[in-house]
Amino acid sequence: MKQRVVSGMRPTGKLHIGHYHGVLENWVRIQNDFDCFFFVADWHSLTTEYADTSGIKESIREMVLDWVGFGLDPAKSVVFRQSLVPHHSELNLILSMITPVSWLERCPTYKEMQDNLSAKDLSTFGFLGYPVLMAADIILYKAGRVPVGHDQLPHLEVTREITRRFNYLYGNVFPEPEALLTQTPKLLGLDGRKMSKSYGNSIYLSDTAEETTKKVLSMMTDPARVRRSDPGEPDVCVAFNLHRIYVPQEKLDEIIPACRGAAIGCVECKKILADCMNERLAPFRAKREELAARPQFVDDMLADGSNRASLISDTVMAEVRAALKF
Ligand code: TRP
Ligand code: SF4
């Protein structure tokens, strides 16, 4: 029997290529090897977006189109929406009863996020409880593995602690989930900072080939290479962090010495990159467009996935209630 995997993403809108190579590509890759549950963590969005929820619905749609367009297969994986499976909330409530506040307060992401998002009032009960809801998401399906990046490891540690405490208090109901660590290459954006929606320096999965080419041509290179005749250095070139992902090795073997010897110009070099990116992304973008043209696709798929998820969560919650002698 395949091990069960559960992972979620907060709906932040359309995904950029950093999300793709960091998380989504890995989800797609493991679909055949695990019994996968992937969900839209829309309740988690409320922890930071509670004051303005108007964008969440559209964000879900854009994100799910990216998921399926770029290879998540609802026939292989259960793809669903957290808020359509109310058991997440019921288990969250029960877990919140047994979770010491100190575990949450000492979670490094707690203070960090509050500082990073200082424009928002994150002194809420729900924001503090983010890791509890995440624990509920995971153990509700008795997941064995959780594909996460390094940034989520503290949360997963809280999940494991809560799981042990539940099992200690009420009997062995849940397996202790383990991380399925994925190396996440931190992609640089057009301006050399980390690729991030809020910096406006991203290339989106849903960008057209023309938009992609335009963005790539505007991308920073080696800042020391001012004139075409100056030698460049791929290792410090911003664009080159994308070459490494998209341009075949034989071509890189030509570009690297040509750059160092000023035998190739940055415009030409970035055109090669843009062409490789567009070639690789084209079939996924076409699929995404096809799905986007079907107005009911996202809602229907999430409804179906959520029904399938509920079949599991229903039996697990029955076990939980029995363990609590309710
Ligand atoms: N916290 C995750 C993030 O911000 C999203 C998430 C919510 C999640 N619940 C989860 C991830 C359960 C893995 C498992 O990206
Ligand atoms: Fe970067 Fe290519 Fe320009 Fe060299 S030639 S600095 S690798 S864009």
CA distance 96 to 170: 15
Q: What is the pLDDT of residues 105-164, one digit of tens each?
A: 999 989 888 998 999 999 999 999 999 999 999 999 999 999 998 889 999 999 999 999
* Per-residue pLDDT reduced to its tens digit, 203-229: 999 999 999 999 999 999 999 999 999
Q: What is the pLDDT of residues 159-209, one digit of tens each?
A: 999 999 999 999 999 999 999 987 777 899 999 999 999 899 999 999 999
Provide the 3-class DSSP secondary structure of residue 325: coil
Say how many Å lie between the first and final Cα of the chain, rounded: 31
Q: Is the CB of 273 within 6 Å of ligand 1?
A: no
Contact 92, 136 (CB under 8 A): yes
| Spatial separation of the C-alpha atoms in residues 65 and 211, rounded to whole Å | 19
Per residue in 246-283, pLDDT tens?
999 999 999 999 999 999 999 999 999 999 999 999 99
- The helix or strand, by DSSP H or E, that contains position 56, with its residue range, turns out to be helix 56-69
The candidate with the shortest Cα–Cα distance to 278, out of 220, 205, 190, is 205
Q: What is the pLDDT of residues 298-308, one digit of tens each?
A: 999 999 999 99
Q: Report H helices in 70-195.
A: 87-98, 101-105, 108-116, 125-128, 130-139, 153-170
In angstroms, the CA 297 to CA 63 distance is: 13
- Strand order of the β-sheet with 35-40 is 78-81, 35-40, 4-9, 145-148, 178-181
For tokens 């992937």, what's the residue?
38
User: Are the C-beta atoms of 80 and 306 separated by less than 8 Å?
Assistant: yes
Residue type, 228: R
41 ligand 1 Cβ < 6 A: yes
- What residues flank ligand 2, with Cβ below 6 Å? 221-222, 225, 232, 234, 237, 239-240, 259, 264, 266, 269-270
φ, ψ (nearest 5 deg) of residue 262: 55, 30
pLDDT at 59: 98
Q: Which of 306, 313, 311 is nearest to 39 (CA)?
A: 306
Cβ-proximal residues to 201 (8 Å cutoff; 6+ apart), any chain: 189, 190, 191, 193, 195
Q: Where do the domains of the chain lie, and which CATH numbers do they carry?
A: 4-187+295-323 (3.40.50.620), 207-288 (1.10.240.10)
Q: What one-letter code names the amino acid at 109?
A: T
Q: How far apart are CA 175 and CA 286, in angstroms?
A: 40
User: What is the distance in A from the centroid of ligand 2 to the CA of 193?
Assistant: 17
Pocket probe for ligand 2: among 220, 226, 247, 269, the residue whose CB has the most ligand atoms within 8 Å is 269
What are 6-65's pLDDT values in tens digits? 999 999 999 999 999 999 999 999 999 999 999 999 999 999 999 999 999 999 999 999
Q: Is 82 in the pocket of ligand 1 (CB under 6 A)?
A: no
Query: What percentage of the chain's residues is helix, strand, coil (to nearest 5)?
Result: 60, 10, 35
